[in-house]
Structure 1
């Protein structure tokens, strides 16, 4: 396991993701419209989305994340009233992570925020799932195909949902939703 530096594009926000390995998290590519709209809203489609409109995300627990500098630069965006919290940095619009809320021990750290360099495959492991592929941008060149993953799904696969909910249950019992760098102890976001 390794500790991975977290850093926004301009360097004002820094942190660390602790105990990271292919077994302590799950790497997915999400092609949903919300991930694509989020990248558009913060003006980062060119470096957040892959050629097919997917976002590379590493799913871990909030207790593994510590923001060590620039927490005052964190902002969130909800694309609908019941939508998830999509965290980014105000200074340079770097996407940080996606969360359902403060009570669930789950955060999807966006690849732009993780300082893995060329070692992401080694440190995070291969992409295990490609989800919501019905929202993917199909290649114009028909000789090219979508990026491969261990498992692909047009929507959100039942098997993955079961694994996530089982993990959430265990992590919740173990209190891995705290500490939480994105929410105060009373459950309110660290920013307006």
Structure 2
């Protein structure tokens, strides 16, 4: 297992993701419209999304992440009333984590928040191996470049959110909840309210 340094683009927010391995994390590329809208709201679609509109995400638990510097720069938005918490930094608009809520031991770290983003595929590839799931491919953007770039390949691909992945996530959520892996949570106060308005 490896600890991965986290850092926003400008360096104001730093942290660490602990005990990362293929057993404790899952690498996914999500092409959903919400992930694309989030990247555009941050005005960072060009460096968050791949050429097809996908976001490279590492799925871990909140207990694995500690924000060591600049926690007061974290903000969140929700794209709908029942949408997930999408955290970002107010200094440089780096995505800093996607969460269902404080009770759920689930956190998606977007590749831009990994400190060694100069060689992102090396870091993610060596630590996590290949992309395991490519989901919501129904929302893929057709690139306008010629010739089209190679689409990232995953072990499993699906037009929507695949049932097999859903079962794995909910099983893991259940087990991680029993293990208390939703705490500590760098994004929420002990009473369950977000650290930022």
TM-score if structure 1 supplies the norm length?
0.96
User: Which stretch of the first structure deviates more once superposed, 140-149 or 111-120?
Assistant: 140-149
Correspondence for 1:61: 61
**Conservation of the 8 A alpha-carbon contact between 2:51 and 2:149:** no
CA deviation after TM superposition for structure 1 residue 142, in Å: 7.5
CA deviation after TM superposition for structure 1 residue 125, in Å: 1.7
Q: CA RMSD in A?
A: 1.3
Alignment partner of 1:179 is 2:184: yes
Partners of 1:186 and 1:157 in 2: CA distance: 33
**Conservation of the 8 A alpha-carbon contact between 1:6 and 1:14:** yes
Q: 1:100-139 maps to which residues of 2 (within 5 A)?
A: 100-116=100-116, 117=119, 118-139=122-143
Correspondence for 1:48: 48
**Conservation of the 8 A alpha-carbon contact between 1:39 and 1:45:** yes
Count of paired positions: 192
Structure 1 alignment gaps of length 5 or more: none
Q: 1:9-158 maps to which residues of 2 (within 5 A)?
A: 9-116=9-116, 117=119, 118-140=122-144, 141=146, 146-158=151-163
User: Which stretch of the first structure deviates more once superposed, 149-158 or 114-123?
Assistant: 114-123
Q: Secondary structure at the match of 1:112?
A: helix
**Conservation of the 8 A alpha-carbon contact between 1:139 and 1:146:** no
